[in-house]
Amino acid sequence: MLRRALIGLLLAAAPAAAQDAPARVVSMNLCTDQLAMLLAAPGQLVSVSTLARDPMSSAMAREALAYPVNHGQAEEVWLMQPELVVVGAFTAQAAAQMLERLGTPVLRLEPAYGLADVPARLRTLGAAMGRQARAEALIADFETRLTALREELLRRPSAALYYANGYTTGDQTLAGEILLAAGFDNIAGDRGGGQLPLEALAMAEPEALITARPYPGASRSEEILMHPVVRRLRAAHAASATTGSDWICGTPHVLGAIDQLAAFRRELETETE
C-alpha cells in the first residue's frame, strides 16, 4: 500500500518537474550560444546570436546554422516568446533589463576565467534549462579528456600570447590556463591581462609566439603583429601559432585548443633537439 502511494506521488510530481524546464530558450551571447547548443533538448533552443555563425569567433559556427539568429534586440527576442533568455554578464544588458521588465526570465552567465569555470557554467545553465543530466555528462567527459591531455613534463618551453595593440594574458585567464595545460610556461606570469611592450617581449625572447588570427581587412590595432620585433622572434625560433575560436569561450571546445597547442609544443621540441 505504501509502495503504491509513493509511486503515485512520484508520477504526480513528474509532470510538474517537466514543466519547470523552459520549452523556449533564446541565447543572446556568443559563449552562451555554444553552451546552450551543447545542452538543449531538441526544439528547446529557438534562437542564438548572430555571432554564433561567425567561424572566426564561434567554435560551433556550423551547428549554429540550424538555429534562427537574433541581433540582441529586446523587441525581436520578446516576440519569440521565450521562457528563458540567456545573456552574458557584460553583454546586451539594456535588452536584458527590458525583457525582465516585460516579465521574461533572464539568466546572466559570467564568462569563464579559467578551465575550472567550464564545468561550473555548464552546470548553471544545465540547471536553468532543466538539462542537468546532459550537463553532468558533458562535465564528466570534459574532465576525463582534460586529465588525459595534461602531461608530466621535465621542461616547459617559454611562450608569449601576443594580440592586437600589444595585449597579452597571463596565467589567471582562460587563455593562460590553456597555454599551461598544453605544456608551456607563460612569460606574462601569474597575472590577468594587459599590454606587453615590444621591448619587454624582445628581452624575454620566448621560445614560442602565439598570436591571434587576424580578421579580414586592415586594422591598425593588428599592425603591431607585423612589427620587425615580432617578425624577428618568429624567424629566430621558427615557431609561432595562432589562437582560434576554440580559445574564446569557456566550453568543452577549449580541449581542442589544448590538444592543438600541445602538438605544436612537441613539434617545437623536436626542432630544437
Sketch out the chain's domains with CATH numbers: 20-146 (3.40.50.1980), 158-272 (3.40.50.1980)
Residue 109: C-alpha distances to residues 36, 71, 113, 159 (Å): 11, 18, 12, 31
Q: Which helix (H) or strand (E) holds 168?
A: strand 167-169
267 pLDDT above the threshold of 90 = no
pLDDT digits (tens, 9 = 90+) for 77-108: 999 999 999 999 998 899 999 999 999 999 99
- Which alpha helices (DSSP H) does 21-57 contain, by range? 30-39
Task: From 153, 164, 189, 171, select the one nearest 243 (Cα to Cα).
Answer: 164
Alpha-carbon distance 86 to 107, whole Å? Answer: 5
Phi, psi of 251 (to 5 degrees): -125, 170
Q: Which residue has the higher pLDDT, 64 or 215?
A: 64
CA atoms within 13 A on the CB side of 250: 23
DSSP conformation class of 52: G
Q: Which helix (H) or strand (E) holds 165?
A: none
DSSP conformation class of 112: P
Q: How many CB atoms within 10 Å of residue 257?
A: 22
Tell me the pLDDT of the chain averaged across its residues: 88
Q: Which helix (H) or strand (E) holds 229?
A: helix 228-237
pLDDT score recorded for residue 218: 64
Alpha-carbon distance 96 to 111, whole Å? Answer: 16
pLDDT score recorded for residue 220: 78
pLDDT digits (tens, 9 = 90+) for 104-151: 999 999 999 999 999 999 999 999 999 999 999 999 999 999 999 988
- Collapse the DSSP code of 66 into the 3-class scheme (helix H, G, I; strand E, B; otherwise coil) and give the result: coil
Judged on CB neighbours under 10 Å (0-12, 13-18, 19+), 151 is: exposed
Alpha-carbon distance 196 to 157, whole Å? Answer: 19
Q: How many CB atoms within 10 Å of residue 103?
A: 7
Do 188 and 171 meet the contact criterion of CB atoms below 8 Å apart? yes
Kindly state the percentage of the chain with pLDDT values over 90: 64
Helices (H), strands (E): how many in the chain?
11, 11
6 pLDDT above the threshold of 50 = no
Q: Can you name the residues that pair with 168 across neighbouring β-strands?
A: 194
Do 48 and 69 meet the contact criterion of CB atoms below 8 Å apart? yes
Q: What residues contact residue 110 under an 8 Å CB cut-off, 6+ apart?
A: 88, 89, 117, 121
pLDDT score recorded for residue 160: 92
